[in-house]
């Protein structure tokens, strides 16, 4: 697996925030892919991705506290 560092940010809409998905720009990933987000060596979370045009490329968006750490790593 390839690791990729991305900046954590707030979810662009309230509707997307309750989906339990990570939201990214369509230039970074396609909707429907699954990713593992590692916030530390001992903490990881699996998400399905959704895209939204307002998300800044290179960022991953969620309202959940486990993604509030900057530079979360996608494995």
Question: pLDDT tens digit string along 24-43?
Answer: 999 998 889 998 888 788 98
What's 4-74's CATH class?
Answer: mainly beta
What mean pLDDT, rounded, does the chain reach? 80
65 pLDDT tier (thresholds 50, 70, 90)? very low
How far from 50 is each of 29, 40, 67, CA to CA, in Å? 9, 23, 15
Domain locations along the chain: 4-74
Within 10 Å of residue 17's Cβ, how many Cβ atoms?
Answer: 16
């Amino acid at each position: 697996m390839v690791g990729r560092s991305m900046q954590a940010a707030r979810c662009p809409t309230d509707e997307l925030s309750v989906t339990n998905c990570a939201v990214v720009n369509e230039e970074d990933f396609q909707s429907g892919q699954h990713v593992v987000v590692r916030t530390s060596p001992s903490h990881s979370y699996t998400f399905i991705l959704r895209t939204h045009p307002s998300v800044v490329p290179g960022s991953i968006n969620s309202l959940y506290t486990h993604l509030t750490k900057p530079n979360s790593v996608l494995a």
